[in-house]
A and B are shown apart, each in its own frame.
Chain A
Amino acid sequence: IAGITQAPTSQILAAGRRMTLRCTQDMRHNAMYWYRQDLGLGLRLIHYSNTAGTTGKGEVPDGYSVSRANTDDFPLTLASAVPSQTSVYFCASSDSAGEGNEQFFGPGTRLTVL
């Protein structure tokens, strides 16, 4: 059982390029999330999906888009990367979006935009 996988593990990207970060979970969780983690700041929610076919904007959605075509996959796309998007990106999932549901995290993708 893998839990949540993310790809790539790390990436160096030129500014202006398009990039998709992949996230797959095998726990049949309904809710999925994308966070970024920057030094000195808490995890910040980029986008979320409470169930397949639906998505929502989090605290810092600008410059990012997501899709949720099925239960397992939740890719995050940077349409035109900028240096301020240099960060560690974590995908997470939970059984549902309700009270008390712990989130399980993937190993993260370290992205550097030059």
Chain B
Amino acid sequence: GQNIDQPTEMTATEGAIVQINCTYQTSGFNGLFWYQQHAGEAPTFLSYNVLDGLEEKGRFSSFLSRSKGYSYLLLKELQMKDSASYLCAGMDSNYQLIWGAGTKLIIKP
């Protein structure tokens, strides 16, 4: 079966660094996406990885290990506006996205 696992909730302090992990199991693999979703809003795209390694984009970085079925999203210099849910999604062999339930990130001052 296909499955995406990520922690339900994490708490971090403003200015700090947080790493949100995701493990995936998909039928075939065409890449791993991270989306951000603020409460009551639509998901918005953050990153895409299809090759092993780290992709850096400003304060956000995403890592992929295909052999381990593992990805993480790294958020640096946390700001209060980063309080949101972070959704991990794997793209399967049919180019469909399989979504995790999301990690709710709470930022404390």
A residues whose Cβ falls under 8 Å from a Cβ of B: 40-45, 48, 58, 90, 97-108
Contact B95 A97 (CB under 8 A): yes
22 CB < 8 A contacts A-B: A40-B101, A42-B87, A42-B89, A42-B98, A42-B99, A42-B102, A43-B43, A43-B87, A43-B97, A43-B99, A58-B96, A97-B95, A98-B95, A99-B30, A99-B91, A100-B30, A100-B31, A100-B50, A101-B95, A102-B45, A103-B97, A105-B44
Complex Cα distance, B42 from A106, in Å, reads 6
Q: Is B33 an interface residue (CB 8 A)?
A: yes
Let me know if A105 and B50 touch, CB within 8 A: no
Please measure, in the bound complex, the distance between the C-alpha atom of A90 and the C-alpha atom of B43, giving whole angstroms. Answer: 9
**Is B4's beta carbon under 8 Å from chain A?**
yes
Set of chain A residues within 8 Å of B31, measured between Cβ atoms = 99-100
Provide the bound-state CA to CA distance between A99 and B100, in Å: 19
When distances are taken between beta carbons in the complex, the residues of chain B under 8 Å from A104 are 45
Tally chain B residues at the interface, Cβ within 8 Å.
Answer: 22
**B101: nearest chain-A partner, CB-CB:** A42
Q: Assess whether A105 is in contact with B96, with CB atoms less than 8 Å apart.
A: no
Residue picked from B44, B100, B101, most chain A C-beta under 10 Å: B101
B35 to chain A, nearest CB (A): 8
Interface residues in B20-61 (C-beta closer than 8 Å to A): 30-31, 33, 41-45, 48, 50
State which of A43, A58, A99, A106 has its C-beta within 8 Å of the C-beta of B95.
A99
Task: Assess the A41–B50 pair: CB atoms within 8 A.
Answer: no
Chain A residues whose C-beta falls within 8 Å of the C-beta of B30 in the assembled complex: 99-100
How far, in whole Å, are A107 and B43 apart by their CA atoms in the complex?
9
Min CB distance, B46 to chain A, in Å?
A: 9
B6 → A minimal CB distance (Å): 9
Q: How far is the CB of B93 from chain A (nearest CB, A)?
A: 10
Q: Which residues of chain B have C-beta atoms less than 8 A from A97's C-beta?
A: 95
